[in-house]
Chain A
């Protein structure tokens, strides 16, 4: 079973990420590509497992504006770890759409981004298979605080502490 970091701890990842074109839908929990979700969400009633959606970095999070309440997981893919669009997508999900579910970082995500990803609202992280997740998890706390507002903090540091 794949593992991931979820809320700071190592957890089972029993979700299947489906790619376009989606032909057969497997049993269990699935993450559907945004395009498929937008066209077929009404037909997914009989699905036994949980259904979430994943977005490519160039897909706009606005497309899910009306759907967020029914999605337990929204995953944001990083085709390359230096593609920082997912950071803004996560902030919009939390700040603009009040999304309360899990935001999962998938694709090429590295340990050294965890602190910032978390501040932007990510709660789950799928790192590369060879990564020691226990060791990587400490990077969630690379910094004890930040100057700026974030999904985790509506007030800048100067307002809270100075």
Chain B
């Protein structure tokens, strides 16, 4: 993974000292509440319902075991001994004290981590595919490009006070595992006819109150122009985005108002001016810098192995052990490198808030990454953790250790692997609780044979329309709403975050907390009754439409 040089380290250290001074001035009453707000947000600190919350950046989801151990230590020293993995691949501490945050940031800086721009109206952490570097369908490893974007966006002097938050995702593969069309800028790595790498740039995607799928504005951007073009997009947005109404301030609203074509023209015009000014091309990316960054993402030394023999041995182990076979089926994925697998550790056991892990589990995860991989792991937007480059002959040992630590729940990609925001238990924005709904669903669907029979199914829960739980792109989405002080839940169907991204549609009137689980059961019954052989929930829904689901859920009891 990327290792800081002296310049990277110095910036992060200076940021810690800047924030230490800001916190002190705030505590001394020299900075008002209003002025301190964006300063602390841009250092990751929210003030939540019960306590402050600190969001730590995990750039494009990549962490070292050293960093994971540091998070465990921080959670013990400054928090309650657990952390939360978010849908944007970051990590949240739920109970730090405001006065301790500078010390926490200093601890993070000691392992090349930070919380810079994890909140606030600025450019946030860039996200990507958790299988980067090992996915069979990859065009190119997106992580070096994410790192280049990370550096460009960090303390960008022009774009720290945007109309609203700004999220960038990079997709390097055929299948989209980064939901990149649901970001303010979605960047897809592509090759032109000459085999050169470039970028297909999309803008204006996003969830939240007004979910929109991003529009293409630049089919092929040559790679050396990545940063100048991003400057142009951000400048147009910074100047013309809506600043009067925060609900209309995201770039998607501007793109919609102008139309994508006009927005693209405005960006082209701005970009042309930037290029005209830069006659010697000094602002352009150099192949030297790109190669320098790429050297930090080497492929491990893969052994040449007899994959067929390994697979046969795995089959033998699996046939003796149904629990192991379930885990292999759901949580293990082949890599493009023969004989190696990428394992997903589930952070969704029933009874635990999705994405929450204890300090001990963090240390176990770090141990697994050291023992079975190269000491690196990846966080996922589904709130799980991936350890790649595990040699298949060690999968059984891996599984036994992961299972002992409660990290081997074999439900990846099923209804029980739901995305869920912290909801009304923690978040001051939420209209309704989401974690208890997730738990009730997991409890209801404890029969793993039934869960597997339901197959691939994404169920996403948000506690309010800000959509942190990505309900718009769940095959089944659940949205918490407030009705006269009571918590109700709207059901949406048909969302998808893949390359044929689709936004879910509301099924009908919202359900009370008591009726949600039963409603989900009815939806699943309709699916099971109507599916064709091998057809997943989303495909059945797309084929038969919403009516049958609607009739069943809202049928008056006879």
Contacts and interface: CB of A to CB of B under 8 A. Distances in A.
Given A82-B38, A83-B243, A87-B161, A155 B121 contact: no
Nearest to B156: A148
A27 interface: no
A126 to B, nearest CB: 16
B450 interface: no
B518 interface: no
Contacts of A148: 152, 156-158, 227
A150 B157 contact: yes
Nearest to A158: B289
Contacts of B299: none
Contacts of A110: 31, 35
Contact of A159 (B38, B154, B274, B282): B282
A146 to B, nearest CB: 6
Nearest to B36: A112
Given A147-B151, A149-B283, A155-B283, A119 B14 contact: no
Q: Give the most central of A85, A96, A112: most B CB within 10 Å.
A: A112
B286 A143 contact: no
Q: Give the most central of B5, B235, B239, B286: most A CB within 10 Å.
A: B239
A51 B14 CA distance: 39
Contact of A154 (B38, B282, B286): B282
B7 A142 contact: no
A84 interface: yes
A83 B163 CA distance: 7
A142 B21 CA distance: 10
B151 A96 contact: no
Nearest to A78: B161
A116 interface: yes
B514 interface: no
A154 B278 contact: yes
B161 A158 contact: no
A162 interface: yes
A158 B273 CA distance: 22
A88 B161 contact: no
Interface in A21-71: 60
Interface residues of A, number: 38
Q: Give the most central of B18, B157, B238, B292: most A CB within 10 Å.
A: B157
A116 B282 CA distance: 21
A147 B154 contact: yes
Q: Give the most central of A84, A91, A119: most B CB within 10 Å.
A: A84
B77 to A, nearest CB: 27
Contact of A88 (B39, B121, B238): B238
Contacts of B38: 82
A154 B283 contact: yes
Contacts of A139: 18
Contact of A145 (B7, B39, B282): B7
Contacts of A156: 152, 227, 283
A31 B395 CA distance: 72
A9 interface: no
B157 A142 contact: no
Contacts of B227: 148, 156
B159 A87 contact: yes
Contacts of A158: 151, 286, 289, 292
A157 to B, nearest CB: 6
A95 interface: yes
B282 A87 contact: no
Given A84-B238, A110-B35, A162-B292, A120 B14 contact: no
Contact of A116 (B35, B154, B160, B289): B160
A74 to B, nearest CB: 16
A1 interface: no
A95 B232 CA distance: 13
Given A147-B152, A161-B7, A87 B289 contact: no
B158 A120 contact: yes
Contacts of A2: none
A88 B239 contact: yes
B161 A143 contact: no
A112 B39 contact: yes
A119 B160 CA distance: 12
Interface in B1-55: 5, 7, 10-11, 14-15, 18, 22, 31, 35, 38-39
Contact of B35 (A81, A149, A155): A81
B306 to A, nearest CB: 43
Contact of A85 (B7, B10, B238, B273): B238
B277 interface: yes
B158 A88 contact: yes
A83 B157 contact: no
B434 to A, nearest CB: 30
Interface of A: 60, 81-85, 87-89, 91, 95-96, 110, 112-113, 115-117, 119-120, 139, 142-150, 154-159, 161-162
Question: What 6 A-B pairs have minimum CB-CB distances, sorted nearest first?
Answer: A84-B161, A119-B157, A116-B157, A158-B289, A147-B151, A142-B18
9 contacts: A82-B161, A84-B159, A84-B161, A87-B238, A96-B273, A115-B157, A143-B11, A149-B283, A162-B289
Given A147-B155, A159-B289, A161-B7, 8 more contacts: A83-B161, A85-B239, A112-B22, A112-B39, A120-B157, A143-B11, A143-B15, A147-B152
